[in-house]
């Protein structure tokens, strides 16, 4: 874009809190291009100052390849995993990236077409087979993908990349080389696991999966013990000792709920059974019907939302809590306070949004069509729910049980012996100028499961994130980093070595610059003031990604 166009963008954005549609079209399309890998680390150009105390690797994951031969994926979630590494040492930064050599990637590459089905794309039968063989192939049980393009996770000191099937891939966090495929079902009786585990302060890891059989459909909570200090470390995956500590039966066995993550406090795990439903019958037949996994999910608000509270030490399921229909992908934090569990989440009121991020919708050629699509999406906003922990038959009915000061959330015991909750909006009207928020992060190591004050997130002024936000949950005040035409990734907090306060440190985010090719940069913000300290410019075009972590030992 010409300088005069950029000035017009900035003026229009200031006055209207959004971008001109023709500009949006120019900028969004490059976010969804296929990337190229950079396996050998390359230097970056530093502007400003990268604090010398930052020493480690910022690891990012996300979809990075959207076609093989003439075949194209349908949904943004389907792209092949492209891993990125920004290594920071003594104020300088290098960059490298690699495609995950999953079975899905290798098979697709060998045959130069899509042969493994993904979330929104069904692989078609081999055209080289005869008609009868192609027909019979529709009745074969589809194998889950190992295209782990969602997140980097850690078990017993090893890094893995993960998606939402039963497969993960162990990876080398230094070289990004792909190691062995790991099947959860070989360790515990589950059919999948999330890409958002939680870690306790003793070194154990918790995750959620599911299982189904003659007895119905169950949501399962998994615990993986810490690595044994005295044991000799072998270069192989180790999930030994993994155990299911709790199984929660689905409210509707033939229509279990979709979930992306869960929340954990010092003593509890909360699973949100939301009304995004998976039709089990369609799931069994989806390959025969030629429909993708995305098509068997449906938003069914008549079921409402159920919070399952589990004691993470005993596995005991506590009282069942209900609230109005809503959906959540990412929770912010949860902590216990004087007999209550305070739970903060990013929530929306229409779960159909998950299936709407098709590449067709995101690559609209008309500004009006793209704007219509954006306006059809619900805004995800931060909410607070408060769960009273001491509820029994003596607890009074239809009386607000929440007695925390300055709290607008409510919880009432109902005649059914359950508790019905209403939420508190964890924001003021200023946030609406930035279109809601997602991808929340906190000072996890020190404050996850504990009372906290700040979280960091992406603001969504249009289809993709176009701002970084810092929210004060005490005052609901915002700090904002936003520049027209720049698209940030999920912000990740890194504490300074001498941190005395919760926000002493930096926030890292990868900024995509579609108006200028091969100029992506790593942004470093002062977490306290939310002002830029420095940036490391990379001569590479990077597609929009999903999640990342900071590896301090990198």
Q: Which residue positions form the known binding site?
A: 196, 260, 330, 547
- Token readout for 387 is 């769960």
Listed in sequence order, the residues at least 6 apart from 233 whose beta carbon sits closer than 8 Å to its beta carbon are 157, 227
* 258: DSSP letter: P
* Angle at which helices 21-28 and 367-376 cross, to 10°: 90
| 95 touches 85 (CB < 8 A) | yes
> How many residues are present in the chain?
554
DSSP at 126: P
Nearest-angstrom CA–CA distance, 203 and 67: 40
First and final C-alpha spacing in the chain: 38
286 in helix, strand or coil?
helix
Inter-axis angle of helices 3-16 and 21-28, nearest 10: 120
Contact 444, 506 (CB under 8 A): no
Mapped onto helix, strand or coil, the DSSP state of residue 69 is: coil
Residue 425 host element (H or E): strand 424-425
How many angstroms separate the CA atoms of 20 and 481, rounded?
19
Using CB atoms within 10 A of its CB, is residue 14 exposed (0-12), middle (13-18) or buried (19+)? exposed
Q: Is 306 left (phi over 0), alpha (psi -120 to 50) or beta?
A: beta
d(CA 11, CA 9): 6
CB 469 within 8 A of CB 460: no
Question: Within a 10 A sphere around the Cβ of 97, how many other Cβ atoms?
Answer: 22
Query: What is the Rg, in whole angstroms, of the alpha carbon atoms belonging to the chain?
Result: 23
Residues 6 or more apart in contact with residue 372 via CB below 8 angstroms: none
Annotated binding-site residues for Fe cation read 196, 260, 330, 547
Contact between residue 1 and residue 26 where contact means Cβ atoms under 8 Å apart:
yes
Beta-carbon contacts of 24 under 8 Å, excluding residues fewer than 6 positions away, are 367, 370, 371, 462, 463
Query: Strand 92-99 to strand 42-43: parallel, antiparallel, or no bridges (unpaired)?
Result: antiparallel
| Three-state secondary structure call for residue 369 | helix
DSSP summary character for residue 373 = H
Return the closest-CA partner of residue 81 out of 39, 19, 43, 34.
Answer: 34
Question: Strand locations in 195-262, DSSP E?
Answer: 198-199, 205-213, 216-224, 243-249
């Amino acid at each position: 874009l010409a300088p005069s166009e950029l000035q017009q963008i900035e003026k229009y954005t200031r006055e209207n809190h959004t971008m001109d549609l023709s500009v949006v079209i120019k900028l969004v399309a490059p976010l969804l291009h296929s990337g190229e890998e950079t396996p050998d680390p390359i230097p970056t150009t530093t502007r400003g100052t990268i604090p010398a105390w930052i020493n480690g690797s910022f690891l990012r994951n996300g979809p990075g390849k959207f076609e093989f031969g003439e075949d194209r994926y349908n949904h943004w979630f389907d792209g092949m995993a492209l891993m990125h590494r920004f290594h920071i040492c003594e104020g300088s930064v290098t960059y490298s990236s690699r495609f995950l050599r999953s079975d899905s990637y290798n098979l697709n590459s060998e045959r130069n077409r899509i042969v493994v089905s993904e979330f929104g794309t069904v692989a078609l039968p081999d055209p080289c087979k005869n008609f009868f063989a192609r027909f019979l192939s529709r009745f074969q049980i589809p194998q889950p993908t190992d295209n782990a393009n969602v997140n980097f996770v850690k078990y017993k000191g090893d890094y893995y990349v993960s998606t939402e099937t039963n497969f993960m891939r162990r990876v080398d966090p230094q070289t990004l080389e792909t190691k062995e495929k790991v099947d959860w079902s070989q360790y515990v009786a589950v059919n999948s696991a999330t890409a958002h585990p939680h870690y306790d302060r003793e070194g154990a890891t918790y995750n959620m999966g599911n299982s189904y059989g003659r007895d119905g459909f169950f949501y399962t909570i998994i615990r993986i013990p810490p690595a044994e200090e005295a044991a000799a470390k072998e270069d192989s995956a180790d999930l030994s000792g993994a155990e299911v500590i709790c199984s929660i039966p689905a409210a509707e066995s033939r229509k279990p709920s979709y979930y992306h993550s869960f929340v954990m406090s010092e003593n509890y795990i909360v699973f949100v059974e939301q009304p995004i439903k998976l039709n089990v019958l369609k799931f069994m037949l989806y390959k025969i019907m030629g429909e993708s996994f995305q098509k068997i999910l449906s938003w069914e608000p008549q079921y409402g939302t159920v919070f399952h509270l589990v004691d993470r030490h005993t596995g005991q399921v506590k009282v069942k809590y209900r609230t109005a229909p809503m959906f959540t992908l990412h929770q912010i934090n949860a902590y216990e306070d004087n007999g209550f569990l305070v739970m903060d989440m990013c929530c929306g009121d229409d779960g159909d949004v998950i299936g709407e991020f098709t590449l067709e919708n995101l690559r609209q050629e008309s500004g009006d069509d793209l704007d219509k699509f954006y306006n059809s999406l619900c805004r995800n906003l931060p909410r607070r729910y408060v769960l009273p922990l001491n509820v029994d038959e003596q607890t009074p009915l239809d009386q607000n049980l929440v007695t925390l000061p300055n709290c607008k959330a409510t919880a009432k015991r109902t005649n059914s012996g359950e508790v019905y909750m209403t939420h508190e909006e964890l924001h003021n009207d200023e946030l609406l100028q930035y279109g809601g928020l997602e991808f929340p992060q906190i000072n996890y190591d020190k404050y996850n499961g504990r009372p906290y004050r700040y979280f960091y997130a992406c603001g969504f002024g249009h289809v993709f994130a176009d701002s970084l936000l810092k929210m004060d949950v005490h005052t609901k005040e915002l700090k904002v980093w936003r520049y027209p035409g720049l698209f940030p990734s999920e912000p990740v907090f890194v504490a300074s070595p001498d941190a005395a306060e919760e926000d002493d440190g930096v926030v890292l985010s990868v900024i995509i610059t579609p108006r200028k090719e091969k100029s992506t940069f790593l942004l470093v913000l002062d977490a306290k003031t939310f002002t830029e300290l420095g940036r490391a410019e990379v001569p590479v075009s990077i597609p929009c990604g999903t999640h990342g972590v900071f590896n301090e030992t990198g």
